[in-house]
Amino acid sequence: MQKSIQIGLMALFLWCGLQARAQELPYLCEIGLQAGAGYYVGDAAPHIFMNPREAYGIHFRYKFTKRWAIQAKVSGQRITGYDYSMDGVRQTTKWENRLYSADVMAEFNFFRFSSSNEYDKRIKPYTPYIFLGLGVSYYGSVAPYVPLGIGFKWKFSDRCGLNVAWQHNIYMADNLEQRKELDNTYQLNGWNWMNCDLTGMFTVALVVEFARAPKPCRICNW
């Protein structure tokens, strides 16, 4: 009888351990390097991906669950365009400006994202995701912005993966060009959010996970 109870308790602990392993995350944090192309939309560039230039950054991500995470990122990009005369005629002289930004974003994964788990078939090593947050940028002036976008995550090993993201930044400013003739061209500045400048980045990131989560039980092997 005592032996049967011991076997039953061991089986119960094993089952609980497997269930906990299916629910918990083996690593809580990750760091990643991003690189790609960026663009600007404003008085000198009315469409996305006009005059694309380099964009780069480094991010830190903390995972609360397999669905929810928060990302903090520092990035830089170069924007460029053409000069305009006072009557709105485009000139042949190009200008450029650099933006350095920091933002914090909440992320939602469409799939339960982690390393492959044989005990929970709902867990995927890949997932599309969306994000939204707040940021601030320095470009000769300082302005806040709202970052939002979509992306795709893929883990090709237990601790390493790739992220692809398309991020849009909606600025509370209309002077990213830092050129007087391009600021407030149509006299629409002020509280008109529809006249704010925009920037965007399409980047690929190599990520590495760290900070292993505490084991949910002694018999778990991670």
Instruction: Look up the CATH number of the domain holding residue 172.
Output: 2.40.160.20
pLDDT digits (tens, 9 = 90+) for 59-90: 999 999 999 999 999 999 999 887 655 455 55
What integer pLDDT is reported at residue 16 of this predicted model?
A: 40
Mean pLDDT, residues 39-46 taken together: 82
Is residue 111 situated within a structural domain?
A: yes
Q: Which amino acid, one-letter code, is at 192?
A: N
- Asked whether the beta carbons of 73 and 110 are under 8 A apart, the reply is no
Is residue 199 situated within a structural domain?
A: yes
Distance, CA of 122 to CA of 113 (rounded, Å): 9
Is residue 217 situated within a structural domain?
A: no
Is residue 102 situated within a structural domain?
A: yes
Is residue 104 situated within a structural domain?
A: yes
pTM of the predicted structure, to 2 decimals: 0.78
* Range(s) of the domain holding residue 39: 2-212
Is residue 152 situated within a structural domain?
A: yes
What integer pLDDT is reported at residue 59 of this predicted model?
A: 97
Cα dihedral across residues 149, 154, 155, 161: positive or negative = negative
What integer pLDDT is reported at residue 179 of this predicted model?
A: 79
What integer pLDDT is reported at residue 219 of this predicted model?
A: 58
Tokens 């629409």 map to which residue? 188
Is residue 189 situated within a structural domain?
A: yes
In the chain, how many domains are there?
1
The percentage of the chain sitting over the pLDDT mark of 90, rounded to a whole number, equals 50
Distance, CA of 194 to CA of 79 (rounded, Å): 20
Is residue 114 situated within a structural domain?
A: yes
